[in-house]
Amino acid sequence: MSEPTTDWWRSAVIYEVYLRSFADGNGDGDGDVEGLRTRLPYLRDLGVDAIWITPWYPSPMADGGYDVSDYRDIQPRFGSLSQARLLLAEAHAHNLKVIIDLVPNHTSDRHPWFQEALASEPGSAARNRYVFRPGRGPDGSAPPNDWRSVFGGPAWSRGPDDVAGQWYLHLFAPQQPDLNWENPEVHAEFLDIMRFWLDLGVDGFRIDVAHGLIKQRGLPDLGVDHEDVMEPPDRLNHPHWDREEVHEIYRSWRRMIDAHPADATFVAEAWVANPKQLARYVRPDELHSAFNFDFLRCSWHPARLREVIDSSMAALHAVGAPATWVLSNHDVTRHVTRYGRPHTGARGPRTESTEPVNLELGLRRARAAVLLMLALPGGAYLYQGEELGLWEVEDLPEELLQDPTWERSGHTVRGRDGCRVPIPWSGDTPPFGFGPAATARPWLPQPTAWKDYTVESQSGDPHSMLELYRSALRLRRSHPALGDGTMRWLDAPAEVLLFARDPGFLCAVNLSSEPVKLPGGAEPLLVSAPLDRGRLPGDAAAWLSG
């Protein structure tokens, strides 16, 4: 029997830990479970409710751990299962829930299933766990269809040791063969993997590529030669994204999780065409919540933001799900940088732009954006380092780039390493306390300018980004109007978003560069920038009692 559910996830602020870059416990230059464990008090004091840890499983790291070779263990460079148990126990003692990443669309090519498949005959049970097909053309030397890998190049490869010469599907890197979700054995295996982790004490799963598991039968051609996973598909009935049949999978997962005594939750990573499509993943008998990437993709523009907020809430509330809000994650350009590029920064979640970044503008907007996000009804996701005001590191030396996009694009697209640079904790010089004193160099170099952005240097400074996040999260916990629920827009100048939440809370966001007058009589609870005679400066936000 399940415990009575608290629905904690409806209002939760969940902090994404990109494990390799969070904190290094053993001094090898990579973040790890031990480093994270020692920083749990930091996260508790920040005021988040839960953490989501990116994949920690054994992996050859062809795609930052999203290429899993064993789903029931911890990657040695990150720690061990006993360290994971300790982490869970300590997190729970601090009242922090722990969500882990589940990667069901593909395994690593080093996974025993894939190795067995390569060594087996075409048509065998082992091959049927993946998507193998003969090639096109008289000698089968052309891929079976025109699908593209998200990281560039064709979505098909032939295993070097595959005597049968068949092609296998990989929507991501060649080291990430797609599983065949038409196969009941794949279903059974993932239900079992999830039970393993729930029994160990995790509080939920973030579902990687939740919109990708089912492919159209017959694998028809796409007809276009470039699509980006971090852009939603521009059409419905796409041959491999957001297919209707994925929902049956999530209904069975929900039955499993509801029957488990853990009070656990699912969050979907689904890049889909519109909020209505997203809402289909969070119907009452499917997943609990889903990242709202429309909010993340939205430019700093009042009418557009309002439209996204309204359409997200309408679609999600129609199925009884909470809205969620997110500004950054380990796949997208950090939002300080996006907002600091007023002309090109909003064109997509990853901008390969040459427009100079106005850091001061980006930071000002980021301060306002977090107050907006945390005041909206529902849950919110934070990405490590945004509470420090970190920006995208766009000048990493090319020889250090590790995102598969860099190689797969023929060195034309640098990829996502710039948002994955290790966190600066303390001190005046790199590695800024990322690991123990004699630590190896972090796997990616940190900008020297981050000396003013460390946790240590911002702590106690009332004007810092960190203290803004801490104050906002403290207020969010204590104010009865915040978290899940509803909101009302109030009349305001065109450049201002003004809304009320009951009881007694107003949020005002000024998206213009000119100051505006705050609603009369309202008492500021928290502001993202200094007020001058009751006037809210440009690109700033205020929380008011009202």
Build a one-symbol-per-residue string for 146-175: x at contacts with ligand NOJ by CB under 6 A, - elsewhere: --------------------------x---
Question: In this chain, which residue has its C-beta nearest to ligand NOJ?
Answer: 66
Which of positions 226-285 make contact with ligand NOJ (CB under 6 A)? 269
Closest distance to ligand NOJ from the beta carbon of 22 (Å): 15
Cβ proximity to ligand NOJ, 105 vs 145, nearer residue: 105
Q: Return the range that interacts with ligand NOJ (CB under 6 A); candidates 59-67, 290-298, 434-442, 469-477.
A: 59-67
Burial class (CB in 10 A: 0-12, 13-18, 19+), 148: middle
Cβ proximity to ligand NOJ, 33 vs 326, nearer residue: 326
Cβ proximity to ligand NOJ, 383 vs 499, nearer residue: 383
The DSSP secondary-structure symbol of 173 reads -
Query: Is 209 a residue that touches ligand NOJ (CB under 6 A)?
Result: yes
Which of positions 425-484 make contact with ligand NOJ (CB under 6 A)? none
Cβ proximity to ligand NOJ, 66 vs 450, nearer residue: 66
Burial class (CB in 10 A: 0-12, 13-18, 19+), 226: exposed
- Structure-token pair, residue 49: 């409710």
Three-class secondary structure of residue 255 per DSSP: helix
- Structure-token pair, residue 517: 């007058």
Three-class secondary structure of residue 541 per DSSP: strand
Residues 58, 77: Cα–Cα separation, whole Å: 9
Cβ proximity to ligand NOJ, 401 vs 498, nearer residue: 401
Q: Return the range that interacts with ligand NOJ (CB under 6 A); candidates 58-66, 393-401, 488-496, 535-543.
A: 58-66
From the candidates 162, 269, 386, 403, give the one annotated as an active-site residue: 269
Closest distance to ligand NOJ from the beta carbon of 252 (Å): 21
Hunting for tokens 């300790």 — which residue is that?
86
Among this protein's residues, is 208 annotated catalytic? yes
Of the residues 24, 30, 32, 63, which one makes contact with ligand NOJ according to CB under 6 A = 63
Of the residues 34, 178, 331, 386, which one makes contact with ligand NOJ according to CB under 6 A = 331
Cis peptide before 530 (omega within 30 of 0): no
Sign of CA dihedral 240, 109, 400, 209: positive
Q: Return the range that interacts with ligand NOJ (CB under 6 A); candidates 3-11, 63-71, 333-341, 447-455.
A: 63-71
Q: Under a CB-based contact definition with an 8 Å cutoff, are residues 159 and 180 in contact? A: no
Residues 364, 55: Cα–Cα separation, whole Å: 32
Q: Under a CB-based contact definition with an 8 Å cutoff, are residues 130 and 177 in contact? A: yes
Three-class secondary structure of residue 250 per DSSP: helix
Q: Under a CB-based contact definition with an 8 Å cutoff, are residues 476 and 374 in contact? A: yes
Cβ proximity to ligand NOJ, 229 vs 506, nearer residue: 229
Q: Under a CB-based contact definition with an 8 Å cutoff, are residues 321 and 357 in contact? A: no
Among this protein's residues, is 34 annotated catalytic? no
Annotated catalytic residues are: 208, 269
Q: Which residues bind ligand NOJ (CB under 6 A)?
A: 63-64, 66, 103, 172, 208-209, 269, 330-331
